[in-house]
Amino acid sequence: GGSGATQSDRQRARMRLSLQEHLWEFYQNNVNIPTEEQAVARRAALDICAELRVFLHAKLPDMPLREMYLSGSLYDDLQVVTADHAQLMVPLILEKNLWSSIPGEDTIMNVPGFWLVRRENLEYFPRNSSYWDRCMVGGYLSPKSVLEVFDKLVAGSINWPAIGSVLDYIIRPVVPSETLTLEVQYEMDRKLYVDFLPLLVMEDGTSLIAKPHRLAAERHENLWRQSFRVAETARLRALDQEDGGCRCACLKLAKAVCKLNPALHRLNASQLTNTILLLCEKEGDWTREALADRFLQLLRALVGHLEAGRLQCALSPKVNLFCELTEQEVDELGYTLYCALSDPEGLLRT
């Protein structure tokens, strides 16, 4: 009868309240990184970046690069659990008339969100007119070959032990690593991983990064990955700023849950950010009091996208952010999250 329904309503409200309290408690204790820890990690990354700039200017003065810079969640206050990684962005300068970009959907691979960068005008400007011609494979600029150039430099010709001892860090290139990564031990028990990320900024502002397609068959090797990170992070933050919302907190909770739960490792920041952005189009209440509801809704939305095998990028609907997951991974993620819907607190037990 009526009173029964009221009772179960009340019970459900109580459960939500308790989930809410646990989420905020988990946020304080496990997700958020102390300011001091973040500052020390940023300092270490900055020191390394400064050394690399000096080294590259001295050793390769004619390599056409813009100034390298650090980026990633550590710099957006979106890193969670431990301050342990950052990206070192390395922007290459390409001659406008010698290189053009072709969207992945217009190629035989048909993958939106990836691009080919083709060498143009070879008849008038023969090979080696552009510095980056040395990284040309089959008429295209190869991200793999660009990474190899930096790999040789960074892993091969920089005296990291010497630099490390000056800076009082232990620095070593991580081998093997498909992206080029430095491991920096900056305190007895603290390590920071710095990824080199070569980057192209095309004329229309499109950012392409040298991060290979995960299911890289040989024919995918020349593909550059479009990066939406700056725009999607900015959009999320702007929405929070408009209404003092908890979207970023919700994202950080979800990132922490995925980082701490091995069955969810395959979900990345971009997929979670875009799921929240899509949710924002339907759902307006992101007050702190709504956190538990929104967090559950985020889990449900993820389950839905996984069932569909497709998660569209909020900034570019053609892009499927699940396109690098295998069918089995999609099933496993969906199953784990589906189970979590009936016991969301289980996700917070670490």
Residue 328 tokens, joined: 């089995």
Q: Which is nearer to ligand GDP, 143 or 245 (CB)?
A: 143
Q: Which of 27, 33, 112, 211 binds ligand GDP (CB under 6 A)?
A: 211
> What is the token pair recorded at 298?
């985020």
By the rule CB under 6 A, 209 interacts with ligand GDP:
yes
The residue (of 247 and 255) whose beta carbon lies closer to ligand GDP is: 255
Please select the residue that binds ligand GDP; options are 33, 44, 73, 158, rule is CB under 6 A.
73
Per the listing, tokens 């969810």 go with 264
The distance of closest approach from Cβ of residue 70 to ligand GDP in the complex, given in angstroms and rounded to an integer, is 8
Phi and psi at residue 180, to the nearest 5°:
-85, 120
Give dist(CA 118, CA 139) in Å, integer.
Answer: 6
- Among residues 32, 79, 101, 181, which is the contact residue for ligand GDP, using CB under 6 A? 79
**Which one-letter DSSP state was computed for residue 92?**
B
| Chain center to CA of 147 | 18
Q: What is the DSSP letter of 69?
A: E
Of residues 169 through 208, those in contact with ligand GDP by CB under 6 A are 197, 207
List 118, 220, 229, 266, residue binding ligand GDP (CB under 6 A): 229
Q: Tell me: cis bond preceding 126? Omega within 30 of 0 counts.
A: no
From 51-59, 77-85, 126-134, 167-175, give the range in contact with ligand GDP by CB under 6 A.
77-85
256 to 295, contacts with ligand GDP by CB under 6 A?
A: 268-269
Q: Which residue has the tokens 């813009």?
A: 66
Q: How far is the CB of 206 from ligand GDP (least distance, A)?
A: 12
Per DSSP, the chain holds a count of helices (H) and strands (E) of 10, 13
Nearest residue (CB) to ligand GDP, 102 versus 230: 230
Gap between the Cα atoms of 92 and 70, Å rounded: 15
In this structure, how many other beta carbons lie within 10 angstroms of the beta carbon of residue 285?
Answer: 11
Q: Measured from the CB atom, is 130 or 320 closer to ligand GDP?
A: 320
Rounded to whole angstroms, the Cα distance separating 136 from 75 reads: 33
Query: Binding marks (x or -) toward ligand GDP, 42..71, rule CB under 6 A?
Result: -----------------------------x
Q: Which residues contact 177 (CB under 8 A, 6 or more apart)?
A: none
Size of site (CB under 6 A) for ligand GDP: 17
Residues 302-341, one symbol each (x = binds ligand GDP by CB under 6 A, - = not), give ----------------------------------------
Q: Which of 227, 183, 207, 158 is nearest to 86 (CA)?
A: 183
Nearest distance from C-beta of residue 211 to ligand GDP, angstroms: 5
Contact with ligand GDP (CB under 6 A): which of 23, 68, 87, 114? 87
Sequence length of the chain is 350
**Shortest distance, CB of residue 178 to ligand GDP, whole angstroms?**
11
Least CB distance to ligand GDP at residue 228 (A)? 7
Q: Read off the amino acid at residue 173.
A: P
Q: Do 195 and 87 contact (CB within 8 A), yes or no?
A: yes
The token pair that represents 323 in the structure block: 């396109």
Binding ligand GDP by CB under 6 A: which of 235, 252, 255, 294?
255
Least separation in angstroms between CB 79 and ligand GDP: 5
Q: How far apart are CA 151 and CA 135, in angstroms?
A: 13
**Binding stretches for ligand GDP (CB under 6 A):** 71-73, 78-79, 85, 87, 197, 207, 209, 211, 227, 229-230, 255, 268-269
